[in-house]
Amino acid sequence: MDQEDKSTTTDLQTMNLAEFLQTVPPGQSRLVTDFGTAGFRKDARSIDVYIAVKPPPVELHCERCDGLRNFRVKDGELPDAGAQDHYLNYVCSNCRTFEKTFSVRLKVRSDPPQSAEAYKFGEIPAFGARVPNRLLKLLGEQSDNFLKGRRCENQGLGIGAFAYYRRVVESQKNEILNKIIAASRKQGALEDTIKALEEAKSEIQFSKAVSSVKLGLPASILINGHNPLTLLHTALSAGVHEHTDKRCLELAQAVRLVLVELAERLTQALKDEAGLNDAVSQLLKAREASG
Ligand SMILES: [Zn+2]
């Protein structure tokens, strides 16, 4: 068994309870050391025995309000402070109708003091941010495979998620490159960059294709200053067999985030220019009319 996959208490990532509820997919454990408004009670021997938690507020996507909103726990205190397994029922503080339920196990630990090993059984509605429509549009006929990869990722199935996402990027390479070329042209990229992008389309493998695109892309489609193609290449260049399941999951998450950002930036880059062209032609018309 690979060293990386052994999850002992000491190597569990540490976080607060709100963060655990918001960010950790079902089927995974973390070490929770901060329970927000929660309290530990001590038994007669002054040992922390249970967490009497008033679950902390969390920030989640509300499907009714269609945005990130504060959620507060609906049912007050955890039902039984001595129990390990809990249902946490939350409701959106804004619309007060949309609900979210988590099922978790909180196993109190004495080391570090006042901590608990938290395991998430599941949640309703299902874990994970919704996939933006503009990304599904960019992925075209591969969007079904992307959603299958997303399902794997939500379940913590790293190898599966990685394999699906790689297939999606490999298969959709030319459509992604076409969009980048269109955006690059509109943003006034150098002809050498456009040429390298066009040449990349003839490479069968995505990783080989993007390694030839070293030249600068327009700043508007860079992600935190990085070339999105290079980011995808870095994540996808090693084979599934070379990574542990855990590492594949991290890489799959990175690939998804880059694709979401890329789709967003491409849409903006193309839209801004379209809007600008409209504005310019309107001004020209107005000038002609007044002149
Ligand atoms: Zn709401």
The model's pLDDT over 6-24, given as tens digits with 9 standing for 90+, comes to 444 557 899 999 999 998 8
Q: How far is the CA of 30 from the centre of ligand 1 (A)?
A: 28
Q: How far is the CA of 68 from the centre of ligand 1 (A)?
A: 8
Q: Is the pLDDT of residue 36 over 70?
A: no
The reported pTM is 0.62
Q: How far is the CA of 100 from the centre of ligand 1 (A)?
A: 11
Q: How far is the CA of 71 from the centre of ligand 1 (A)?
A: 8
Q: How far is the CA of 60 from the centre of ligand 1 (A)?
A: 9
For position 1, what pLDDT does the model report?
Answer: 38
Q: How far is the CA of 127 from the centre of ligand 1 (A)?
A: 17
Q: How far is the CA of 124 from the centre of ligand 1 (A)?
A: 15
Q: Is the pLDDT of residue 179 over 60?
A: yes
Q: Is the pLDDT of residue 48 over 70?
A: no
- Which residue bears the tokens 């249902």? 87
Which tokens is 122 given? 């599941």
Q: What are the sequence ranges of the domains in the chain?
A: 10-124, 133-278
For position 172, what pLDDT does the model report?
Answer: 92
Least confident of 19-28, 122-131, 180-189, 211-220: 211-220
For position 79, what pLDDT does the model report?
Answer: 52
The model's pLDDT over 180-211, given as tens digits with 9 standing for 90+, comes to 999 988 888 888 888 888 888 888 777 677 76
**Beta partners for residue 91, in sequence order:** 72, 99
Return the SS3 of 55: coil
Q: Where is pLDDT greater, at 235 or 6?
A: 235
How far is Cα 17 from Cα 218, in angstroms, rounded to an integer?
Answer: 40
Amino acid at 260: V
Least confident of 47-56, 93-102, 139-148, 257-266: 47-56
